[in-house]
């Protein structure tokens, strides 16, 4: 009986661990600080969605990892996450932590998800400029 319980415990643990590793997300982002040539870690990014009346509501908040990435916005679902979204990059505190003045306290990127494909929204960043595009 005890061996069966231990087996069941290990089986459950490893099954759940496998499920967690197989999760996928529809949206990701990356920040490259072109002033330093390195990723921008620790930047808070707020994902918001626009409703039919034009109002924004916060969906999720994340911080960039050591590689300047957020990989886990919008867990994949069969119906997808169609709509108009906004990523707000709170870059002011990042530049402050670098001892660098900046023109941008935050950056907003608005985009539309029209299908169930993966969307990657990276930005290249400097204290006085930025660029964005739809990556893959």
Taking the complete model, does pTM exceed 0.75, yes or no?
yes
- CA dist 45 and 86 (Å) reads 10
**What is the CB neighbour count within 10 angstroms for residue 3?**
7
DSSP string, 48-103: EEE-TTS-EEEEEEEE--TTSEEEEEEE--TT---EEEEEEEE-HHHHHHTT---S
Q: Residues 54-110: pLDDT tens digits?
A: 999 999 999 999 999 999 999 998 888 999 999 999 999 999 999 999 999 999 999
Residue with more model confidence, 82 or 5 = 82
């Amino acid at each position: 009986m005890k061996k069966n319980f231990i087996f069941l415990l290990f089986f459950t643990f490893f099954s759940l661990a496998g499920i967690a590793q197989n999760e996928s997300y529809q949206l990701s982002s990356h920040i490259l600080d072109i002033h330093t040539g390195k990723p921008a870690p620790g930047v808070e990014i707020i994902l918001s969605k626009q409703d039919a009346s034009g109002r924004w509501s916060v969906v999720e908040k994340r911080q960039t990892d050591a590689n300047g990435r957020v990989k886990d916005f919008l867990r994949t679902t069969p119906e997808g996450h169609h709509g108009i979204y906004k990523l707000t990059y709170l870059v002011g505190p990042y530049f402050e932590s670098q001892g660098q003045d900046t023109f941008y306290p935050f950056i907003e990127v608005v985009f539309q998800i029209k299908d169930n494909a993966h969307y990657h929204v990276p930005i290249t960043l400097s204290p006085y400029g930025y660029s964005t595009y739809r990556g893959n």
